[in-house]
Structures are given as structure tokens and as C-alpha cells.
Amino acid sequence: MITCIPVEILDQICPHLSTDDYYQLVSASQAFKKIFIPYMYKEVIFNTLEQAEAFIKTTSYHRYVRRLTILQYGPNMNELKTISDYFPNLESINACCTKEIAWEEFDQPLHYLTSFACSRQLSKASLVNVLSNTPRLQKLDFVYFKSDHLDFSFFDTVHSLCPNLIDLSITCSTWKQSISLKEQELAQPANTLKRLNIRKERGENQHQAWLMYIGNKYPNIVSLKFEHEFFLYDRDMPELHLAFYSWFLSKCQHLVSFEWKYVLPNAALIQQLKKMQRRFCRLVLYDPRAVDSGLLKPNCLPFLNDLKILLPQWKPFNSLISIISKAFPRLQHLSLEGGARTYHIDMVLDQFLHLTSLEIQSLRLVVTKGRIEQQRRSAVPHPLKKIRLSCSRLFDEVFDYISVRCFELKQLTLDRVRFKTSAPKARIYLQQQELQRIELNIFGRFVNHKTTQMQLLHVQHKNRSSWYRTTLKNHYAPPIRPFKELDIRDIETLASLLSHDINPLPSSRQLLFCPSSIFNDYDLLEVMENGYLEIVCQSIDAIYIDKKRLI
């Protein structure tokens, strides 16, 4: 009856339990089996197939697995059969599958599969073989074989085999001559498709042919994405008339998201979007020419609320920000990448007064001199609630400015950041903010043109002070163990070091070997010289470091 508790343990504890306690144990065990186990094994990720085989041998919960990812090594035909046999209820596979898969030979085909992603090249015949045996697919992501020329007729084959397809992503190298307009008009609409992503490694764009085909084939499309692997100046969209874009947008009335990577859309498309007053939700312009090419006119998309843009390096940061803010005056979500070596956080907040979410990926993030004092004298609150800083070199005053400007901040994410400070302590002071979540992913200290990874973390919130420490392989490598909280002996030693400005006499160095299990006879002075991060907030609900919850 109680399947989650070993029989040996059950035999020992049952004689000591009352009837009520026994039935409570039964209820708890059944709840654990019905709720926790299925949730825990719903998605599994393996680096190699050997890890998957070890999982099969050591557990009996294969039927709960719905999503399977194999990162480094793709299964062959026999191994894929093993996966099919042991994971009969799989809904999603993400792996580097072999080029030829004889799915018709499966004793137990993956009929429940709704998502299939393959990062290795597949030939047309092999892909058709896969799709013929997975009729319930809703999401497909594949790399088309380089020797095969892709044409629009192939999409008709895909949709005939997978009539429920919602999300389609394809990477291709070459493209056959586009079919005629009459043939495109005769294309059978695929009404279920919502998202289409076209990635090209080389070759001509042929965007006009694509848009003509998409307009006739996908009337319910919501998101459209064009990607190129590399940046080239000859990848602009061709000059097309407003009438063409009017026809295209009238055909795709549900389209609310456009993404362009290393290809520049035509200005007529933007003009037509404004003319039709389309309430576009998201626009991605991942091309450094987008800002200064004349594409972004003042108030060109007044209804846009989500923008991601790649900035050029050849223009001052303040002029770029001004152009973007005038073109999209009502932005609520903004992502900035590339551009000048130095970003000014105060300029961004001044230009975009409606932002609730901001993401910045830059080399250096600073605050204009005097802005913190000015904000303290005459506070102008900003509604920002969420901020993410990536690959940045940060100064302490950045958070000082956020502290006196963004009182509604709830989420802070720092990804691969370096704190620029000569002092041992790098600080995040947000004393007035009640944060719901802080995420830290690989953070270090930048001193004398070198980056060292910090091993200590000090958190103060709700009148509570806690210290945490991790272990490094070396000063420059990411942590190899999760952060653990220090006990009172370690904290007293740290307090003694801090009171001496971390410069004790050499004769006292032997006192710096802490006896606790957390430090394991490490030289605490060396740990302190590596620097530490101090976070001070009014309250914090949760802190995650490298996706592991600390608080």
C-alpha cells in the first residue's frame, strides 16, 4: 500500500505508531507519490546518453518523464529505440539525432511527442520519415541538410504530416528559386501555425518571396522572426511599396511580434504599421544600423511596448537613446545590447519614463556625475520593477542611483558581472526596496585589469545579517560548490578581520585558519583578499545563485 517507503523501514516503524499516525503516514506517502514524484521527473536533462542509461537503471519513474534533453551526444537508431521503450509518455525530445532515423521500425513509436528539436543536419527524406511517425507534433526545430535545396513546397509536406503544428523553426543554407505568385496564392493555408523562425547561414534574403508566401500560408501567425548567422551590409530588405505591406499586414492580422537579426527591415514596413495603427507588442532589431539608418523616425511606432535593439559603436550613447525614445515613446520593456563602451543608467531612465522592465548588456555601466545628489534633493520616482544586467562592469554608484530612483523595484538579475572597486567590498545597497527576487550568476571583482571571483556574500535584510561562502577551483574560475551559511565562529573571525581593515600583522596569520567545517582549514585572509559582495535591502523574498536558491 505504501509504495514510496522501503519495506524494511516500514516494518520497523509501524509497531510504534498509533492508528491515526499510521494513516497519516499512508496519506503523506500517497501524496508524495502522486504529486511530488511526477513533478520532479517531468523534465530530465542529460549531458550524455550514458547518464540517461544510468537513470534508467537506477529509477523506476520513467513513465513520469515528459521532456527529455541530451546535450552533448546524439543517440543512434538502437539507442533512440531504448529511449522510446523506457520513456513511453515523452512529449518533447531535444537532441543531436543521427541523420537517418528509421522511425517505422519502432515497436512503440513516440505517438505522444508534441515537440522535436534536432541540432544536427537532417536530410529531407530523414525529416519526412520523422514527421510521418509523430502526427501530434506542435513544435518543430531542425537544421536542414546543406546539400538539399529548400523550397516552399517542402512546407506543404510538413503541414500535411503535422496538421497541429504551432511553432516552426528552421535553419537552412541555400534556397531554390521562389515560386510564382499564382502558385503562392494556391497554397493551402496552415491555420494552426502561430510562430515562424527562419534562420539562414548564407545566400540571398528573398524576403519578398517569404512575405508573399507567409501572407497566403499563415493567416493566424503571431510571431515572425528572420535571422542571419553573420552581419553583412547587403542583407537589407528590398524596396517594396506600401501597398505590398498593406496587403501582407491585412493577411496576417494577428501578427504582433517581429524579430530581425543581422538584416534590416524596410522603412515602408514601419510606416505601414503606423498607418494601420497596429498595436505591435514586440520588435527586435538586432542590427547595428537600425538606429542611425533613418529607419526610426520620431513617433514611428507609438503603440510599441517591448523593444530589443543592438546599438552601433560609432555613435554617442546619449544620441542613440534619444532617437529610440522619440521613435517609441511608450515603451514598457527595453533591452539594449552592444553600442558604446559606457552606458549611463540615469540617461536611460530619464528618456524612458514608462519602463517597468530593463535589460542591459554592455561593457561598462555608470551614473553621470552629480545625478545621485540631484535625485536625493528632488526625487523623481521611476516605475521600474525589473532590471537585468549582463556581461557588465559595474560601479557601486549604479545601485546607489537605483536606490533613490526606483522605489518599486521587485526583481534584480546580475549575469556574469564584474564589480569595479578597489575596496575589498562590492556593494548593492537598496535600503528602501522590498525585493521579491535576486538572481546572481557568476559575479566577480575587477581590480587592476583582472577579474577574481568572490567567495563571500553578506546579506542584510529585515534586521537580519547572514554570511555565506563558496569554494573556488582558483581565483578566476566560477564556484564549484553552492554557497553555504557561516556559523557564529566564522562570523566572529570575519568581524575581527573587518575591524582591522583586513590588514593584520603577519604574526597573527595563523589565527586566520577557521576551525569550522565550512572553511575546512582554508586561509581566511586569502579568502578576504579576494573580495566579497554585500547586499543590503529592506526585504528579500528569495536569492538565487547560479539557479540554486540561497534564501
Taking residues 341-360, report their average pLDDT. 91
| 3-state secondary structure at position 9 | helix
pLDDT for the residue numbered 302: 86
Taking residues 362-377, report their average pLDDT. 86
Phi and psi torsions of 18, nearest 5°:
-75, 170
pLDDT for the residue numbered 107: 46
Domain residue ranges of the chain, discontinuous segments joined by +: 7-37
Taking residues 97-120, report their average pLDDT. 62
Taking residues 176-188, report their average pLDDT. 57
Give all strands (DSSP E) within 379-521, no chain letters: 386-390, 393-394, 411-420, 425-435, 437-447, 450-453, 456-461, 464-469, 484-485
CB contact at 8 A, 489 and 517: no
Which residue has cell 530589443?
308
Higher model confidence: residue 368 or residue 130? 368
The proportion of the chain whose per-residue pLDDT surpasses 90, expressed as a percent, equals: 15
Dihedral of CA 210/213/215/220: which sign?
Answer: negative
Lowest mean pLDDT among 178-192, 321-335, 353-367, 512-526: 512-526
CA–CA separation, 309 and 336 (whole Å): 6
Give the length of the chain: 551
pLDDT for the residue numbered 476: 47
Residues 6+ apart with CB under 8 A from 478: 442, 453, 472, 546
For the stretch 519-541, pLDDT in tens is 454 556 666 667 778 889 999 99
CA–CA separation, 321 and 230 (whole Å): 25
CA–CA separation, 330 and 408 (whole Å): 19
pLDDT for the residue numbered 72: 60
User: What pLDDT band is residue 358 in, cutting at 50, 70 and 90?
Assistant: very high
Taking residues 297-301, report their average pLDDT. 86
Taking residues 107-126, report their average pLDDT. 70
CB contact at 8 A, 175 and 151: yes
For the stretch 202-233, pLDDT in tens is 555 567 778 888 888 899 999 998 887 665 54
pLDDT at 239 over 90: no
pLDDT for the residue numbered 409: 94
Taking residues 73-84, report their average pLDDT. 62
pLDDT for the residue numbered 547: 80
Dihedral of CA 41/45/49/51: which sign?
Answer: negative
Q: At what angle do helices 207-217 and 152-161 cross, to 10 degrees?
A: 30
User: What pLDDT band is residue 383 in, cutting at 50, 70 and 90?
Assistant: very high
Which residue has cell 575589498?
424
pLDDT for the residue numbered 146: 59
Taking residues 118-131, report their average pLDDT. 74
Whole-structure pTM over 0.95, yes or no? no
Phi and psi torsions of 279, nearest 5°:
-85, 80
| 3-state secondary structure at position 159 | helix
**Of all helices (H) and strands (E), which one includes residue 493?**
helix 488-499
For the stretch 403-427, pLDDT in tens is 999 999 999 999 888 887 767 778 8
Q: At what angle do helices 124-132 and 152-161 cross, to 10 degrees?
A: 20
pLDDT for the residue numbered 2: 42
CB contact at 8 A, 96 and 74: yes
Higher model confidence: residue 442 or residue 537? 537
User: What pLDDT band is residue 165 in, cutting at 50, 70 and 90?
Assistant: very high
CB contact at 8 A, 141 and 118: yes
Higher model confidence: residue 549 or residue 493? 549
Q: What does the DSSP assignment read for 395-422?
A: -HHHHHHHHHH-TT--EEEEEEEEEE-S
Which residue has cell 520519415?
129
Q: What does the DSSP assignment read for 97-148?
A: --S---GGG-SS--TT--EEEEEEEE-HHHHHHHHHT-TT--EEEEEE-TTS
Lowest mean pLDDT among 67-71, 186-190, 197-201: 67-71
pLDDT for the residue numbered 501: 53
315 DSSP 8-state letter: S
pLDDT for the residue numbered 508: 40
Taking residues 478-492, report their average pLDDT. 68
pLDDT at 60 over 80: no
CB contact at 8 A, 405 and 349: yes
Q: Give, rounded to a whole angstrom, the gap between the first and last alpha carbons of the chain.
A: 37
User: What pLDDT band is residue 96 in, cutting at 50, 70 and 90?
Assistant: low
